[in-house]
Structure 1
Amino acid sequence: MIDEVQFGEFAEWILLPLGTPPEVLTAHLLDRFSGDPTPEPTKRAIAERLPVLSDQVQESVSGDGTQAFAVWILVPTGGTELTVVGCAFAALVRRDPGAGPSDFIETLVEGLQLYQPIDVSELETPIGTAHLVRARTYDERDHGLTISQTTSVVWLPEGESFAIWLGTVPSDDLVEAADVASALEQFAASITVTRS
């Protein structure tokens, strides 16, 4: 039985601890990026928005058998600049232990307006094979279609009644989304679990 899920520490993936008071998280981020030469008012404005982003991601993911347990932002290579390149979350999702990967992936994309068929591949990780899912969705707006991309990595641990879902927040900058997807793959490869 899995008791805890953890991901490795990367300079570019900054954890936004859930439940942290906004002023505490803002102060932590300003301290963490004190060497960033960006003007202080700009850094403060970014740092003050991140607790709100974390709450929004947690709320949008959690519910109906899904519980987010971590949110991160991705910053540029080196991890010294407070510029948000992307955002990711990790969640536990209740599932039928008898359901296979394709059944579970189908539930993840259910209801999405897919711009093209999803791309699914396998990813070897320390806790077994995961499934890498790339989905491009569209939204009709006054000026036309807006296309967004999300990337997810899902694990279906044998004998468990939940799946582990590591996913990105949708991005309509498809070049940036590809960079975030590549970083997410590396991040996913750092997963470890504690079993009882």
Structure 2
Amino acid sequence: MDQAAQTMIDNLEKNTGKSLAQWVAIVQKEDFKKHGEILKFLKTEHAFTHGFANLVAHKALKSDAGSVSDTDELTIKQYKGKEHFLPIFDKLSKEIKAFGTDIAFAPKNAYVSIKRKKQFAMLIPATKTRYEIGINLKGHPPEGVLEIDTKTNGMCSHKIHLKDEKDVSSEVITWIKKAYETAG
């Protein structure tokens, strides 16, 4: 487990008086099946911030890299029925890994989070016809392929839509690299 995740787990208990395991038990008792249901419950019933609610939801559903023995399983699951997007994922992964040795890929059920000291991007096979890249460039105006993200609850400030591997342009890589540089 990386230091950032451990700090968040420690702060969860410090801030709420309950451990991660206790919160997971509370959520599991409610028998939620979806990530969004858990987020809503923790935010509305327990005044959680998005980050803490997201942590508990992933642990309760065992949908993050730290909760499974084989993280490749999560990535394979994301692309089931969307295999035509794997070349985009492969190309982006290769380009991003070239930015530096301090990058961590953390697969979840529906996306891959990419972190340096903090998350700077998300690779998301959103639908069968749309691939999204979420990036964190808070305060930056939309420009070119870069749009403001209004859907990921603050997990990313911007997004880029792709349909095909050829859409992975130098502009796309430049935006991801900018996010990488601000995450250090």
After TM superposition, is the score higher than 0.5?
no
Q: Which has the higher helix share?
A: 2
* TM value normalised by structure 1: 0.28
Normalising by structure 2, we get a TM-score of 0.30
| Greater strand proportion | 1
